[in-house]
Amino acid sequence: MWPILHDVITEQRTFAYDPGMSEHDAKRTWLVAAPARVVVAADADRVLGTANMYANRPGPGSHVASGSLVVAEHARGTGVGRALTTDMISWARGNGFAAIQFNAVVDTNRAAVDLYESLGFGTLGTAPGAFRHPVLGDVGLRIMWLDLRPPTRGTG
**Percentage of the residues of the chain whose pLDDT score is greater than 70:** 98
pLDDT tens-digit series, residues 127-139: 999 999 999 999 9
- Please choose, from the candidates 94, 132, 138, 139, the residue with its C-alpha nearest in 3D space to the C-alpha of residue 113: 139
CB 111 within 8 A of CB 70: no
Helix (H) or strand (E) holding 2: helix 2-11
pTM higher than the cut 0.95: no
Report the run of H or E that residue 53 belongs to, with start and end.
strand 46-55
Predicted confidence (pLDDT) per residue in 50-86, tens digit: 999 999 999 999 999 999 999 999 999 999 999 999 9
How far is C-alpha 66 from the geometric centre of its chain's CA atoms? Answer: 7
